[in-house]
Amino acid sequence: MAYSGPFQPGDRVQLTDAKRRHFTITLEPGETFFTHKGGIAHDDIIGADEGTVVVSQTGGQYLCFRHLMVDHVLSMPRGAAVIYPKDSAQILVEGDIFPGARVLEAGAGSGALSMSLLRMIGEHGELISYEIREDHLEYAEKNVSEYLGGHPDNWDLRLGDLTQVGLKDLDGKPVDRVILDMLEPWECLDTVAEILVPGGVFMTYVATVPQLMKVMEGIREKKCFTEPRAWESLVREWKVEGLATRPEHRMNAHTAFLVWARRLADGVVAPRPQRRARK
């Protein structure tokens, strides 16, 4: 799919009507998309610029834009729940995912985070994705390949349990970043400590408070990471209409906690965090 320029055959296009309902089509010459307001000929869209309004057979108007990654993530088939954009964006920034990075993720799920990581590391980076369930692995493969137009050469998708993985399974080369999205990430801390380069960033995504407590304590007990940080992100849109400006009634509230730590050099013990004494 092209990222800019006039629409071309094969592009995924999002049609939006006056009620902000979205419909996604893949452009094919000679085809027609049928709506409750009549058909829309794909040929009326092919060759037009993004931001064009196409009119259906009975006069319905639809705004046309290419599918963005966020649109694909929220609409694609899934076997496991996806990491939502508000969290994946923070993983990319807080995790300092850079072009050329060697990144390992476990819990590939439906492939939502994999797409963001692949885009961020670029063609010179490497992404190694572990998934323990074969059905989830198939979803990840299909969703990522569909969006990127094929299986990327720098994406190593593996079926397996990360607790059974060691440095030897990575050709003896440590990774720059580790991102976990799984039920029991504390079970993988020995693996993370072995495969992560000193100074590398480790992040994990957990949904519940008991998971958060257990992984935080596990990181502290390993004594080879910095003091972990934990947070959640809440996103609330606003309705802006003159004097009626107000927050939307619905918001993207809790999805999961993000936990962040960095790998210490071998044999180093970090200074114990000091808390201000109570008066």
Which residue numbers belong to the known binding site for S-adenosyl-L-methionine?
Answer: 110-113, 131, 136, 161, 181
Burial class of residue 13 in the structure, from the number of CB atoms within 10 Å of its CB (0-12 exposed, 13-18 middle, 19+ buried)? buried
Torsions phi, psi for 92 (to 5 deg): -65, -40
3, two tokens: 């990222």
CA distance 279 to 272: 21
CA distance 146 to 123: 18
Which contiguous run of DSSP H or E holds residue 249? none
134, two tokens: 């074969």
CA atoms in the 13 A half-sphere facing the CB of 245: 3
Q: Which residues are annotated as a binding site?
A: 110-113, 131, 136, 161, 181
Q: Of 87, 75, 81, 151, nearest to 116 (Cα)?
A: 87
